[in-house]
Amino acid sequence: MSTDTTETKVAPKRGMSILFSLTLLGLLLFLWLLLGFATNSFWTPNNISNLLRQGSMTAILAVGQTFVIITAGIDLSVGAVVGFASVILAWLLAAGLPVWLAIILTLLMGVAIGSFHAFGIVRMGLPAFIITLATLTSLRGIGLLITNGSTISISNEAFTNFARADFLGVPSLFWMVIVVAVPAYIFLHLSRWGRYLFAVGSNSEAARLSGVNVNRTIYMAYILSSTCAAFVGILLASRIGIGNATQAEGWELQAIASSVIGGTSLFGAVGSVQGPLLGAFILATINNGANLMNVNSFWQRIITGALIILIVYFDQLRRRGSR
């Protein structure tokens, strides 16, 4: 089968239209304007910097999670991977390794975790929900064993100052979102590998018959997700200055929520890069505004859950209408 024929058959469904992206951007700007009128401190430089920092790490996690969800999978371990990566990085730095080598080894650890997930799904036949849930629990335990239930301090000031620094007036953590988002967009929307992700999520058997290596595509999706999570763990370690296995608890739900709010379908084959990024900053804005207005933090979780239910419901209606 020719390459042209294969690429034609596996062309992805464009679930994230420009109109929807603009709608999300409009919603984000509306929230910013609303909070600007409702509070006196929202538009202060310190608050905007905090908002960008809060949303940046969730945004990177959401991009990685989106690769998996597009294949009709799920990765519940990303929050635990973030905490575990912070422990590994701090442990390597404490052992005397240079920062660049510790970062590379931590990212390779993310690759290994993603490969393990894909192996469990492809070779062992385990549901993605089960294998990633097991990893979530295990990594928390391994991290606590390494730290003996405590934390590992990071004394490298150049490393810890990075997450707190600005470049051209913009927090360095937000620049890391751009560093991840640009190649992620090229990969997902402009390469054949991205088209394969959509094809597997739409119908894995049809994709296989069209010449797509389904197993390799699943490996690719989970490796990207875990590597993004490991990268976020590095950024988190830089921001808080310690390695802590219990950090990032619940971040997997934030990543999934950001992806879903951004238009990614939990049924697979529909998604984008820009949607989850906007979804992450919409959630960060809601949480930030709630804090400024002294709204009980429990309401933030209720709002997030309600948004997920509402969006998944409309996604189901859309799918029924397209049949």
What integer pLDDT is reported at residue 322 of this predicted model? Answer: 62
DSSP character for 167?
Answer: E
What integer pLDDT is reported at residue 323 of this predicted model? Answer: 59
User: 10, 197 in Cβ contact below 8 A?
Assistant: no
User: 275, 177 in Cβ contact below 8 A?
Assistant: no
What integer pLDDT is reported at residue 305 of this predicted model? Answer: 81
CB atoms within 10 A of CB 9: 16
What integer pLDDT is reported at residue 83 of this predicted model? Answer: 97
Provide block-wise average pLDDT over 10 residues at a time, the chain (323 residues): 42 55 91 92 93 95 97 96 97 96 98 98 96 96 94 94 91 96 96 95 94 97 98 96 93 92 89 93 92 83 80 75 62
Tokens, residue 155: 């004394």
What integer pLDDT is reported at residue 18 of this predicted model? Answer: 75
Q: Which of 72, 56, 43 has the alpha carbon at shortest distance from 222?
A: 72
What integer pLDDT is reported at residue 302 of this predicted model? Answer: 84
